[in-house]
A and B are shown apart, each in its own frame.
Chain A
Amino acid sequence: MNGIALRSARGTQLSLVCAALLGLHSSVLTRADEAADGKSAFAACSACHSVDGSKRLGPSLNGIVGRKAGSVADFNYSPAMKRSSIVWDAPTLDKFLANPQQEVPGTRMPFSGLPDANKRAQIEAYLATLK
């Protein structure tokens, strides 16, 4: 059971180490590989965000790519998020996930951000698969 705790926190780093040992570079990983890794990296988000349309502490993230920020009906967004005029795609998600408060000052999402660019890219690839 101990492994469960550490998998999500460290699993990504571990797989990058393995990739390095095998002489691979992250750029040869396909978008599908990234999305698969992204599903595990998404553990950083899934305590608060569902992907099946159900409301949790945060809005559901199915269909987020291509959607206007702050537009899920019935979700109580911050005024900052509603006003942001962001449309979610890989670049906007990347900026937001890197530092949510800097990108949307006043967002109510209590998350300080993901400094690891690879992890962000994986999550973005995974989110793009959710319809």
Chain B
Amino acid sequence: MAKVLPKRTVVMIGGGFTSALTARQLMPKGVDVVVLERGVDRSQAAADEIPSQRDELRWALHHENAQNIATETYTVRYNSSETALPARRLEAFIPGEGVGGAADHWNGQSWRWAEYDPTLRTRLQSRYGSLPNDLLVQDWGVTYAELEPYHDLWEKLFGIAGKAGNLRGQIQVGGNPFEAPRQNEYPQPPLEVLEAGIIFDAASKKLGYKPFPLPAANSPFEYTNPDGMQLAQCQYCGHCERFICEANAKASPQLLLYPWLARHRNFELRTQVHAVGIDYDKDNKFVSGVRYIDLITGEEFLQPADVVVLAAFTMSNTKLLLISGIGTPYDPQSRRGVVGKNFCHQTMSGVNVFFQDRWINPFLAAGSSQNVVDEWNNDNFDHSGLGFQGGGYIYSNVTNGRPISSRLLPTGTPRWGSAWKKANADWYAHAFAITVHGSCYGHPENYLSLDPTYRDAFGLPLVRINFDFRENELKMSQFLTQKAAELARAAGATIVGPPTPRTSPYDVRVYQTTHITGGTPMGADPTTSVVSPHLQHWDARNLFVVGASVYPQNSGYNPTGPLGALALRLGDDLGSYIERPRQL
């Protein structure tokens, strides 16, 4: 029997990026908030202190900052006629676990999406007419203009470094000409341009593109945010993604948000508690609390609450809705139901370039110290006659020179022995990748459900991922990778590696990005979305869902920026809802 705890006002599941931002907006209003986090706080311990912070094997390859897949993994299959099997070595993405969530080990690439992205379906239909039946592109039910003030606030809270490309409608030299209009410049100027960025910029300009520095959460200077929280200066050590910053220079929730929240009497963070269900009254469309296991004692608790915010990692949001019986599960045959639909990942590809006479030195880099062109992203170009939708940004991909995994070698190099060693010595500091960060749009056969066979350490069904790169993404990747190859040739490299578009089948052993989206899409139509444009669950009015699970499709941009905006806006919406509970 679960022990029933005293009722609280708001309970949030997941101590990551979105719940902290939502909670921040509730603090001045005095709203009582409890956050439940399954992991620990890793601050001021091995993960963020030198020399242990530099342990590539431990943090980057063994994923010790991430979800422990011995406790909970996913089963995977390519289509619904197959039997899914559990991923026992998961590399395709790195889910968070611990205070800060996946944003403790992110690279810091901090985009706003295109102005049209929240209304992508409307945009594509008006430009190209009817869309293919299997292209599940949807509008969010909210416009970019409504989110802009929250983007602005999030960028100030996280000290984002960049160069505006579109200031109140005026295109700015040196920024992204495709940028959505912004009210203000970035809070900080861009990071240093690396040698690879200089090479990439020159090649881009030769082809008529307008390159710019990628917006970064790696702080180029010391910075104090509007809450008085501080970032130190980035040291370009190249231990960002998969690592917790040892210099307090990477904007992260456990650095900027949780310590600030902890100063408030109306905030409580409970760690090492694993949510196992949400109590749901289907007749009254109402949730009454969260059940969780205390991972230290093994006891089960029921935490009653007026409002529940589901803010766990993407697949966990879908899982908790499905095991709690909230909403109609998506069925790929009838295409009815919503929970688990529009599951998307990222379509990465690229080409390696080697320069005999240029000193690339990847050992000096930051997670976002890259230069970019945006001409071929999403719907920034005309897709008439191309047979696909979507695209990606193309960039000079140098984030680190870590010894185990960062070794670009020309094709044909032996895999071992003295020739391999010589090639390493020759090319380690003289190579980088020109990478496509490609979109992934919804497909009827890409969805999440509960696995009928395999269970996690708590006896709950694993999430079954039904996913592959479908025709739309394969064609997009072919097209975009050729654009990357043109840039590689224009850069004048000594050796241009073979262009390698993304191919099917999806491989969980190969890293794409941790930009896993969908499963609980937002939208104005309850027959195609799980939550409303205000992130309120259509089937439980006091339940809200936030995180990348609410994106109906994944853009060619990294997902963090709009998530920050959506989470801050949810905080304001919740404040209003708590004053007067209603359908927002």
Which chain B residues lie closer than 8 Å to A45 at the CB level? 232
Which chain B residues lie closer than 8 Å to A78 at the CB level? 50
A78 to B50 alpha-carbon distance, docked (Å):
9
A43 to B51 alpha-carbon distance, docked (Å):
24
A-B contact pairs, 14 of them (CB 8 A): A1-B156, A2-B185, A5-B223, A6-B188, A8-B224, A9-B223, A43-B224, A43-B230, A47-B222, A57-B44, A57-B49, A57-B246, A111-B232, A112-B235
A4 — nearest CB in chain B belongs to which residue?
B224
- Contacting pair A5 B248 (CB below 8 A): no
A31: interface (CB < 8 Å)? no
Chain B positions 123 through 161: 1 when the CB is less than 8 Å from some CB of chain A, otherwise 0: 000000000000000000000000000000000100100
Which chain B residues lie closer than 8 Å to A56 at the CB level? 44
- Contacting pair A5 B48 (CB below 8 A): no
B68: interface (CB < 8 Å)? no
A12-58, CB < 8 A from B: 43-48, 55-57
- Contacting pair B222 A8 (CB below 8 A): yes
- Contacting pair A48 B232 (CB below 8 A): yes
- Contacting pair A1 B187 (CB below 8 A): yes
B577: interface (CB < 8 Å)? no
- Contacting pair B224 A111 (CB below 8 A): no
A108: interface (CB < 8 Å)? yes
Please indicate which of the listed interface residues A44, A57, A78, A110 has the most CB atoms of chain B within 10 Å of its own CB: A110
B247: interface (CB < 8 Å)? yes
B185 to chain A, nearest CB (A): 6
A8 to B49 alpha-carbon distance, docked (Å):
25
Residues of B in contact with A, size category:
20 to 34
A45 to B44 alpha-carbon distance, docked (Å):
16
Chain A positions 54 through 84: 1 when the CB is less than 8 Å from some CB of chain B, otherwise 0: 0111000000000000000000101000000
A4 to B188 alpha-carbon distance, docked (Å):
10
Which chain B residues lie closer than 8 Å to A46 at the CB level? 222, 230
A109 to chain B, nearest CB (A): 8
Which chain B residues lie closer than 8 Å to A76 at the CB level? 49
Which chain B residues lie closer than 8 Å to A108 at the CB level? 49-51
- Contacting pair A4 B226 (CB below 8 A): yes
- Contacting pair A9 B222 (CB below 8 A): yes
The 4 closest A-B pairs by CB, nearest first: A9-B221, A47-B232, A47-B230, A110-B247
B528 to chain A, nearest CB (A): 38
Which chain B residues lie closer than 8 Å to A44 at the CB level? 222, 232-233
B453: interface (CB < 8 Å)? no
A111 to B50 alpha-carbon distance, docked (Å):
12
B184 — nearest CB in chain A belongs to which residue?
A2
- Contacting pair B247 A111 (CB below 8 A): yes
B231: interface (CB < 8 Å)? yes
B21-60, CB < 8 A from A: 44, 48-51
A1 — nearest CB in chain B belongs to which residue?
B156
Prevailing SS type, chain A contact patch: loop
Which chain B residues lie closer than 8 Å to A47 at the CB level? 222, 230-232, 248-249
Which chain B residues lie closer than 8 Å to A57 at the CB level? 44, 48-49, 246, 248
Which chain B residues lie closer than 8 Å to A112 at the CB level? 235
Residues of A in contact with B, size category:
20 to 34
B210-255, CB < 8 A from A: 221-226, 230-233, 235, 237, 246-249
A4-B187, A46-B222, A76-B49 given; name 19 further pairs at CB < 8 Å.
A1-B156, A5-B159, A5-B223, A6-B221, A7-B224, A43-B222, A43-B230, A46-B230, A47-B222, A47-B230, A47-B231, A47-B249, A57-B44, A57-B48, A57-B246, A57-B248, A78-B50, A108-B51, A112-B235
A55 to B246 alpha-carbon distance, docked (Å):
15
- Contacting pair B247 A48 (CB below 8 A): yes
A97 to chain B, nearest CB (A): 13
Which chain A residues lie closer than 8 Å to B248 at the CB level? 47-48, 57
Which chain A residues lie closer than 8 Å to B50 at the CB level? 78, 108, 110
B228 to chain A, nearest CB (A): 9
A4 to B68 alpha-carbon distance, docked (Å):
39
Known: A47-B232, A57-B48, A111-B232. A8 touches B226 (CB 8 A): no
- Contacting pair B44 A55 (CB below 8 A): yes
A2 to B225 alpha-carbon distance, docked (Å):
10
Which chain B residues lie closer than 8 Å to A111 at the CB level? 232-233, 235, 247
A44 to B248 alpha-carbon distance, docked (Å):
11
Which chain B residues lie closer than 8 Å to A6 at the CB level? 188, 221
Which chain A residues lie closer than 8 Å to B49 at the CB level? 57, 76, 108
B249 — nearest CB in chain A belongs to which residue?
A47
Which chain A residues lie closer than 8 Å to B159 at the CB level? 5
B181-207, CB < 8 A from A: 184-185, 187-188
Which chain A residues lie closer than 8 Å to B184 at the CB level? 2
A99 to B185 alpha-carbon distance, docked (Å):
33
B13 to chain A, nearest CB (A): 29
A1 to B231 alpha-carbon distance, docked (Å):
15
Chain A positions 98 through 117: 1 when the CB is less than 8 Å from some CB of chain B, otherwise 0: 00000000001011100000
Which chain B residues lie closer than 8 Å to A110 at the CB level? 50, 235, 237, 246-247
Which chain B residues lie closer than 8 Å to A55 at the CB level? 44
- Contacting pair A8 B232 (CB below 8 A): no
A110 to chain B, nearest CB (A): 4
B449-473, CB < 8 A from A: none
Chain B positions 322 through 352: 1 when the CB is less than 8 Å from some CB of chain A, otherwise 0: 0000000000000000000000000000000
A108 — nearest CB in chain B belongs to which residue?
B50
Which chain A residues lie closer than 8 Å to B222 at the CB level? 8-9, 43-44, 46-47
B531 to chain A, nearest CB (A): 31
B249-273, CB < 8 A from A: 249
A9 — nearest CB in chain B belongs to which residue?
B221
A10 to chain B, nearest CB (A): 8
Chain B positions 553 through 583: 1 when the CB is less than 8 Å from some CB of chain A, otherwise 0: 0000000000000000000000000000000
A111 to B248 alpha-carbon distance, docked (Å):
10
Which chain A residues lie closer than 8 Å to B187 at the CB level? 1-2, 4-5
Which chain A residues lie closer than 8 Å to B225 at the CB level? 4
